[in-house]
Chains A and B, each alone.
Chain A
Amino acid sequence: MPVLSLQISPGGPVIDILVGVSRARQQALQQAAQPIPAPVMIRGLVDTGASCTCIDPSIVTALGISPSGTATLHTPSTGTQTHQANQYDVSLVLVHPQISYTIHAVPVVESHLAIQGIQGLIGRDVLSNCLFIYDGRSGIFTWAF
């Protein structure tokens, strides 16, 4: 199991992840003889308080993707109400110097994150594929997949 230990940044456990179109969409683009957008490297905050993974709208634009799902969302900003958000199908590559781990299809929600210095929230849906250890005393987090 590849293991990656990184320093906890002032913003929390932040990791670089490649976001691309899903494998299924990639095949559809090839069939349509359309270019496949290059995956985008994002800074993603590992957030155990997020049940789903989110990406900034700039990533959606860069990948030229359209919604393929909807999610009912509750955040502090929605108060006591829920609201419907678009979901997009993407692939995620968890980067490691020796070996990378690709998840070929992940539904992600679009939300404005760039203002917080990140482009993604890595939620528990992705963490369900990983081991994640937060060692606050050492200032290190460990990510294994």
Chain B
Amino acid sequence: MALEKELETYKRKLPELKEQEGKFALIQGDELVGVFGTYEDALQAGYKQFALNPFLVKKIQAVEQVQFITRFLDTCPS
């Protein structure tokens, strides 16, 4: 799975991030790099710091919002 380590880091850091719910966390490896007000700001910071190397941008949510798609889809596993 892509970004598995980063997702684990997000889950581990979530208790301390909850006060910033709705903002966007930038994570690489086991490091929380920063929290940003918009998705694009987090992306900009990620690409600036890590260039084309993998990083995770994740909206901070105490309870993960499930994305619903009512159409039958063959989604690609992560």
A and B co-occur in one complex = yes
Chain A interface residue count, CB cutoff 8 Å, equals 47
Across the interface, name the chain B residue whose C-beta is closest to A56: B76
Residues of A within 8 A of B67 (CB): 50-52, 71-74, 109
A54–B72 CA distance with the chains assembled, in angstroms: 12
In contact, B71 and A47 (Cβ under 8 angstroms): yes
* CB within 8 Å for A66 and B69 given contacts A57-B76, A77-B75, A85-B75: no
From B3, B52, B68, contact of A70 by CB (8 A) = B3
- Give the interface SS of chain A, mostly helix, strand, loop or mixed: mixed
A49 pairs with B43, CB closer than 8 A? no
- Which listed segment binds B: A2-10, A17-25, A35-43, A129-137? A17-25
Interface residues of A in 64-92 (CB under 8 A from B): 66-78, 82-86, 89
Contact: B40 with A104, CB < 8 Å? yes
Interface residue? A110 (CB, 8 A): yes
- Pick the contact of A78 from B1, B39, B51, B75 — CB < 8 Å? B75
Residues A95-135 near B (CB distance < 8 A) = 104-105, 107, 109-113, 115, 121, 123
* Residues on B with beta carbons closer than 8 Å to the beta carbon of A85: 75-78
Q: Count the B residues whose beta carbon is within 8 Å of the partner chain — how many?
A: 33
Q: With A105-B39, A105-B40 as given contacts, are A86 and B2 in contact (CB-CB < 8 Å)?
A: yes
Q: Is the CB of A112 within 8 A of B2?
A: no
- Does B57 sit at the interface, judged by CB under 8 A? yes
Q: Are B69 and A69 within 8 A (Cβ)? A: no
Is B37 among interface residues, defined by CB-CB distance under 8 A?
no
| Bitwise interface map of B from 31 to 73 toward A, beta carbon under 8 Å scored 1, else 0 | 0000000011001101110011011111000001111111111
Q: What B residues does A77 contact at CB under 8 A? A: 72-75
A31 near B75: Cβ-Cβ < 8 Å: no
Given contacts A25-B43, A28-B48, A68-B56, contact A51 B73 (CB under 8 A): no
Closest 5 CB pairs of A and B: A49-B70, A28-B47, A105-B40, A24-B43, A112-B74
